[in-house]
Amino acid sequence: TQLLEQSPQFLSIQEGENLTVYCNSSSVFSSLQWYRQEPGEGPVLLVTVVTGGEVKKLKRLTFQFGDARKDSSLHITAAQPGDTGLYLCAGVPGGGYQKVTFGTGTKLQVIP
Amino acid sequence: KAGVTQTPRYLIKTRGQQVTLSCSPISGHRSVSWYQQTPGQGLQFLFEYFSETQRNKGNFPGRFSGRQFSNSRSEMNVSTLELGDSALYLCASGSGSGGTEAFFGQGTRLTVV
């Protein structure tokens, strides 16, 4: 079973602060996805990283895929209340179609 | 393009009863996956259907079952409900190719009393 551990589990910060969320596994993934879920809604895809060492930026969000394709990080600069939500990483295994494994989740609260 | 539609949104059932949840994927999508989300366990994979065939299955007891119809709509059924089955059940549709984006519905909030 492939497990994805996210840290921290909970994060409460003031508006304007920076933060980093980590997603770690002992397994190698062909790609890794990050989703954000708001209360009462399903998760929505933010980004997919494919290449080891890849860095992708989405406005104030920076995503990095580890060189060994076992871990990833999400960095938010100058967090805003609209960033509040549950952040989920999801590992996509290689070798044909297999089920995606979701991480344990990081609940972020940005206080105005 | 309409999104993923799950019905009902909320459901309250009694222990021992059974329940059927429905998911209509995005038009053209042939893959439907089901997940159970609880505060303690996070997002747990139940099963995935592709072209009416179960392609992947998670580690859930046989009380949890599903099916997919020729129009790609899917249903999941839980029999002999237990209190621990209370959760948000999410359905995700996709093209069926590995690693592509999963589009989630808003979920069905099931409460077992």
Identity of the residue in A42, A48, A98 whose CB atom sits nearest the CB atom of B104: A42
- Supply the pLDDT for residue A1: 54
- How close, in Å, is residue A15 to chain B by CA atoms? 25
- For residue B105, the chain A residues in CB contact (below 8 A) are 42
Contact state of A97 with B104 under an 8 Å Cβ cutoff: no
Task: Specify whether the CB–CB gap between A50 and A64 falls below 8 A.
Answer: no
Render pLDDT for B2-39 as a digit per residue (tens, 0 to 9): 799 999 999 999 999 999 999 999 999 999 999 999 98
B72: left (phi over 0), alpha (psi -120 to 50) or beta: left
Of B88, B76, B71, give the one whose Cα is nearest residue B25: B71
- How close, in Å, is residue B96 to chain A by CA atoms? 8
Interface contact A105, partner B, CB < 8 A: yes
Identity of the residue in A31, A40, A102 whose CB atom sits nearest the CB atom of B99: A31
Query: In B1-113, where does DSSP find H-type helix?
Result: none
**How far is CA B113 from its chain centroid?**
20
Q: List Cβ neighbours of B57 (8 Å cut-off, separation of 6 or more).
A: B46, B47, B48
DSSP conformation class of B41:
T
What amino acid occupies position B55?
A: R
What's the rounded Cα separation, in Å, for the pair B99 and A96? 9
User: 3-class SS at B14?
Assistant: coil
- Supply the pLDDT for residue B1: 60
Of B48, B50, B45, B55, give the one whose Cα is nearest residue B87: B45
What's the rounded Cα separation, in Å, for the pair A74 and A22? 7
- For residue A97, the chain B residues in CB contact (below 8 A) are 55, 96-98
Identity of the residue in A40, A43, A97 whose CB atom sits nearest the CB atom of B98: A97
Interface contact A82, partner B, CB < 8 A: no
Task: Specify whether the CB–CB gap between B47 and B56 falls below 8 A.
Answer: yes
Contact state of B43 with A102 under an 8 Å Cβ cutoff: yes
Interface contact B105, partner A, CB < 8 A: yes
Q: List Cβ neighbours of A16 (8 Å cut-off, separation of 6 or more).
A: A78, A79
Q: Over range A9-18, report the average pLDDT.
A: 97
| pLDDT interval class at A96 (50, 70, 90) | low
Residues belonging to chain B = 113
Return the ∠ at Cα B42 (arms to B23 and B112), rounded to 5°. Answer: 60
Tokens of B42: 């996070």
Contact state of A30 with B99 under an 8 Å Cβ cutoff: yes
Contact state of B45 with A42 under an 8 Å Cβ cutoff: no
What does the mean pLDDT of chain B come to?
Answer: 92
- Supply the pLDDT for residue B112: 98
Percent of chain A residues topping a pLDDT of 90: 78
